[in-house]
Chain A
Amino acid sequence: MKPRALILTGAGINADRELAEAFALAGADPRSVHLFDLGENPRLIFDHQILALPGGFSYGDHLGSGRLLAGFLRHRLGEALGEVVARGLPVLGICNGFQVLVKAGLLPMSRGRIEQEASLVHNDSGRFEDRWVEIGVEARAARRSPWLTGLATLRCPVRHGEGKLVGSSPAAMDALEKAGHIAFRYLEAGQPATNYPANPNGSWHSAAGFLDASGLILGLMPHPEAALYNLQRPDWTRHGGGEGTTDCLRLFSNIVKALG
């Protein structure tokens, strides 16, 4: 049976359809579940084998990106949130979904507690931008996360205004890096990118995403679900043509395989 993926929708989430498409293409059975239905019945999560938080502007990001949806999940899902971790349910957050995971305290969770340890703040440029980036999957992360098996580099768009990943202090960020919580880094010529625009937002350590200790909870600012087909790449008319799918799809098929 295909693993069921819960795709969270509602309240300003807006990249849910393409995320559902990614899971469907990867062989999962995506089910869109409205945030408020989940608030009414948090146990709905456990009818699914994957929890996915899409991008968008939940609650308009009016109190900071992802802040209110994170508050909603912490407050309304409460125990179920802890149970997601306890049961080892694979969780993916993309863009706003990643901001929510960080602000709800599900990532990086380096202390084994659901509490916020890092943040995503305004890009150094002060601007929302849509541009393609190259991100490298950290080798350690690829070894220990079922999402990342066999992946090295991915190309996909960033589309955010608040994507600068920072720790509570430089030392804290160093510690997160040492502990293997950085899953992706923005790359320039194969190296971690320090300069704009390859590092599009000024993220510390060029970090583009986090992984929790179990390897099951993964989040990133760029949008792999918007880069499933070669036709979606900005330069397909120059390089490679418009046939076929990309490595970004493997992120989704990896987890389906691991569950199967």
Chain B
Amino acid sequence: MKPCASPPAPAEARALRRLEAAGLEAFRDAAGEKLRRTLREDLKVACGPIRAVRALTLAGRFSAAEAWRIGREIFADPIVERLFLDGQADDGDAASLKVAPSLAGPIHGDFAPLRDVPSQERPIYGDFAPLMGVPSLERPVDGDFAPLRDAPSQEWPIYGDFAFAVCVSFRPGVTDNVARSAAEGIEFLLGRKLGSDEEIHSATVWAFLAPGPTPRELERVCNEVLYNPLIEKVEALSRAQWEAGQRFAPPVPAPALGVGAVEPVPLSQLSDAELEALSRARVLALSLEEMRAVQSHFRDPVRRAARRAAGLPEEPTDAEIEAIAQTWSEHCKHKIFAGIFEVEDEGRRETVDSLFKTFIAAPTRQIMRQRGDIASVFSDNAGVFHFSEELDVCIKVETHNSPSALEPYGGAMTGIVGVNRDVLGTGQGFRPILNTDVFCFGPPDHGDALPPRLLHPRRILRGVHRGIKDGGNQSGIPTVNGSISFDPRYIGKPLVFCGTAGLAPRRVCGRASHEKSIAPGDAAVMVGGRVGADGIHGATMSSEGLSEVSPTSAVQIGDPITQKRMIDFILEARDLGLYRFITDNGAGGLSSSIGEMARECGGARIDLAAVPLKAAGLAPWHILVSESQERMSLAVPPDKLGVFLDLARRRGVLAAAIGAFTASGCFEVFHGERPVARLELEFLHEGAPRLRIRARWSPPQGAEARDGDLPALDAALARAMLARWNICSKEDWVREYDHEVQGMSVIKPFCGERADGPSDAAVLRPDPGTYRALAIAHGLRARFSDIDAGRMAANAVDEALASLVCAGADPDTAVGLDNFCWPDPLPGANNPDAEHKAAQLVRACRALADICLAYKLPCISGKDSMKNDYVFPRSPGERVGEGAAASLARSNAGVQNAARISVPPTLLFTAVGVVPDARRALTSDFKRPGDLIFLLGETKDELGGSELYAHLGLIGIHAPAVEPRSALTRYRALHRLAREGVLASAHDLSEGGLLVALAESCFGGRLGARLELHPQGSRALHPVRFFFSESASRILVSLSPEHEERLRREFAGQEILCLGRVQQAYRLEGGDLPTLELDSLYESWRTPLGKLL
């Protein structure tokens, strides 16, 4: 990477120097061991030990002495690693910063007095002297690390006694965070800025010690585990090649892209077919109708004359076409949600004018009128509500599905750091305080067969998880809530939902923190990272289905550290009142951010030549639409600009004034003197034609299993259910997220005696001065879509609210976020059931509106992603993975031989609410033997779409129906009891129903339960149905017998059932249950996913 664009340093001739740090063999190589485990687990490749060697290539004017100094002082660890420069081992002597001996103090005496000691001899840290030499090793300690091996052969000192050495490095132009940090370290170490012709590159060498894998195995290791060709390159050398003198190729500098010119795109004479071809060729993702709208706009003779006068071609420029495509993309414009639906559903015909306005905005506004705590919805990057008298909270959830499908690590990482920026760009700027993550993947045990270009679900799981982990942990934002759902159809497109909530004082510098404005004359300022070729066409790509030929320039890595600095700086500048408006640079880059901001004051004019670049030779349109990460756009009053830019410089944050806001009515773009684009804001933002969408419901054809066909309720069934991917513990994966940085955590992802019981919601206390706390939970029940997408949506909302209440939140304070991930509901090639998918969407939206109105739950933010399909390149059905094929075959749309894999229509509903007193928050674990166990809510014959039916290979027809009125009464009653401190535990029933909830509450408490069911109410059901039905709005609580009367009084007239008692014996037994040993159930539940780590 190029750290900056200062003049070349003259002293030394340009040369390549390769530093390598190899772990000393006496120390355990945890990274190598982990890779070895992964290879054994995923590829069934067993090989000898693997050692990781870190490499850094310095391309520039570095002397050998400087390279050694870099290696010793900031690269290699002197205790556990040996440093090599161009293959030569370091044999330097120890160096130290000396402290006068008398000041070191006696070790066993009293501690030194706490007073100023006049410094005697000043410690000397002058010229370079090498650091410590290689430590001697006498014997292993604690017996758990690798035994000492013989001294490695002198000829292969770096990689040991290796069979193969594999070097993985980034392709030119891809974000290399290690290199960026190293460059910064080199600058402070050498006391000079790196020159424009100097670059640093990082790499990792995996040394496969003899006996290594076979060459064929090695190829699989490289292709399926070690690297992703979209962003990385790999080079393998065998021992024989190494002996013959071959070495890893030096990194090549990032190539120059484009020609730097502005090209007109002649449209006015094109036929319809040519317009469509142009849209495809440029990845514009514009329909014919939209292309025609653009064509007719630029045919207008008055406009053509005005353009000539402005120095622009009559035909649109490439930059204008690209800016329009970004702004009009489904990703940015939500054309489907804003479209006009002609609906035919069970004999009813109607027209719905915008799903968004009808089913989301209107109900939310109606609810807002009844509540005084909602500050801002639909107008900003995230919805804002008043958390307390002093604090506002905003929250946003995004999806990053397409990028995660292509490059799981970078896709997920940019997903999470991207939604962090949404929060930073809300109002005056909110500080991110929590992340959420919800994934939908194909099953990890899917066979090897996959359609072209798709990655195995296991690889996606690992990569996405690592991206979320690094993105959140390195940013210092706790990941507090989430889940992983599995279904074979997500093989075609994984869903990666990333959410962030932010906190701000209600007033900042005398203004309401959720408000912002721009005045003409304000400077347009870009802050954060440089612009490169990375992330061009992200918005348009995600507006199309995934296919074999999806563009890869949209793939990015993300740099949380650069972003963390930017966040710190922005919040500092916010509190000093240094800017007036802020928004993030996400999809569509500057064309979207500045283009949107221009609407605030009526125009903007920017100069692309003022934008700091990280790649040479970008065409102006690249700069305009690049989605290079870690950037925000701000409006800074002219009198604050100097102070703002100076603060940025002192904080090591890049900031550049790139133009000004105007009242011209246009978004004007220049590159130096050269005009690049001049788009009327009205056309840019309002010119897209509206979609008309036909929606026709096809009723599901499934049937219920007869009682006689249900399996026996025995230990084997219980274990099998608890081990299912959707039910088993996710703890090993979740523990890799930092869930308590920032110190607000009250209820963590896991609870109970050994902190391994699953929590229903996270609770955080943002202000340690009060006990008022924030709870966050979510619901996602995609499989119910196979029967009725409306019930799917209602259950998602209900589950989120129930989970929130179980943690102690007041249901009347809850706000929600709707995130739709749908298969393409527009007709097209290989999409025969598009009208049904559209009807499913209408049903889901209608159900969302109904239930939110009943719960008085406003949707303060949301997002939709409408192209979650994989389209097969050639003949349908070819090379489909067997799991996906089986799933497609049983999809209720009856598409037996589909040419696409469509995700099940999926709504993620996230709910946030207030826990009035954190000390009354609840967890799911049983607390004391003898406590009574109650089931609140009715259990019905509702196994349709359940986990049990999935286990049996069925779908069924009775999907759970939500009855929001009785449910809300129940939630309110539960909350009253929680506030009184009457309840010992509360756990919401979800996948797997009552049996799973009981088992989880037992696991958390390390306590058993004895059921004493009486024949009443729900008891009439077949036991398997009773224990595994997924009827909505049910909650399992436990409480001390002394409070039984209080509970019965509170729930008088409602459906409740006393199930039995908590017991010391670690068994689940009684009622219709066989005796279930909880140790055995725990094993089944706890281990399946952990094994994959």
Contacts and interface: CB of A to CB of B under 8 A. Distances in A.
B30 A125 contact: yes
A10 B653 CA distance: 11
Nearest to B35: A126
Q: Which of B113, B119, B740 has the most CB of A within 10 A?
A: B740
Nearest to A95: B741
A11 B105 contact: no
Given A60-B177, A86-B119, A166-B27, A159 B921 contact: no
Contacts of A235: 751-753, 755
Contacts of B107: 110, 179-181, 213
B34 A126 contact: yes
Counting contact residues on chain A (CB < 8 A from B), the size range is: 35 or more
A121 B119 contact: no
Contact of A232 (B132, B181, B737, B743): B743
Nearest to B737: A130
Interface in B887-944: 918-919, 921-923, 925, 927
Interface string A104-143: 0100011111111111011111111111100000001000
Interface stretch (B345-353, B360-368, B470-478, B635-643): B470-478
Nearest to A119: B79
B965 interface: no
B178 A63 contact: yes
A18 B137 contact: no
B142 interface: yes
Contact of A71 (B37, B112, B185): B185
A62 to B, nearest CB: 4
A219 interface: no
Contact of B103 (A49, A112, A243, A259): A112
A215 interface: yes
A42 to B, nearest CB: 12
Interface string B98-120: 11110111111111111111011
Given A67-B74, A130-B740, A109 B104 contact: yes
A74 B97 contact: yes
Contacts, number: 319
Contact of A117 (B79, B114, B116): B79
A112 B768 contact: no
A216 interface: yes
Interface stretch (B288-296, B532-540, B560-568): B560-568
B119 A15 contact: no
B1001 to A, nearest CB: 12
A102 to B, nearest CB: 9
A114 B105 contact: no
Interface in B130-185: 131-132, 135-142, 144-145, 177-178, 180-182, 184-185
B568 A87 contact: no
A151 to B, nearest CB: 14
A49 B115 CA distance: 9
B138 A59 contact: no
Contact of A115 (B95, B117, B122, B753): B95
A202 B29 CA distance: 12
B333 interface: no
Contact of A116 (B131, B752, B755): B131
B735 A130 contact: yes
B115 A132 contact: no
A191 interface: no
Nearest to A54: B476
A155 to B, nearest CB: 11
A242 B918 contact: yes
Given A166-B79, A232-B743, A15 B476 contact: yes
A159 B27 CA distance: 22
A60 B181 contact: yes
A140 B107 CA distance: 10
A159 B476 CA distance: 11
B680 interface: no
A111 to B, nearest CB: 8
Contacts of A243: 919
Nearest to B563: A12
B43 interface: no
Among B30, B475, B745, residue most surrounded by chain A Cβ atoms (within 10 Å):
B30
A57 to B, nearest CB: 4
Contacts of A17: 742-743
Contacts of A181: 107
B921 to A, nearest CB: 7
A114 B108 contact: no
User: In the complex, which of the residues A88, A132, A173 has the most CB atoms of chain B within 10 Å of its own CB atom?
Assistant: A88
A30 interface: no
A51 interface: no
Given A169-B138, A237-B751, A105 B918 contact: no
Interface of B: 26-28, 30-31, 33-34, 37, 54, 56, 73-75, 77-80, 94-101, 103-117, 119-120, 122-123, 125, 131-132, 135-142, 144-145, 177-178, 180-182, 184-185, 188-189, 202, 469, 473-476, 559-561, 564-565, 568, 650-652, 735-743, 745-748, 750-753, 755, 765, 768, 771, 918-919, 921-923, 925, 927, 1005, 1093
13 contacts: A10-B652, A57-B473, A59-B181, A60-B474, A63-B178, A82-B125, A113-B99, A118-B79, A127-B735, A130-B740, A235-B753, A237-B921, A242-B919
**The 3 residue pairs across chains A and B that have the minimum distance between CB atoms:** A14-B476, A82-B123, A112-B104
Interface of A: 9-15, 17-18, 21, 25, 34, 36-37, 39-40, 49, 55-57, 59-60, 62-64, 67-68, 71-72, 74-76, 78-79, 81-83, 85-88, 90, 103, 105, 109-119, 121-132, 140, 144-146, 157, 159, 164, 166-173, 179-181, 194, 202, 204-205, 213-216, 225-226, 228-229, 231-232, 234-235, 237-238, 241-243, 258-259
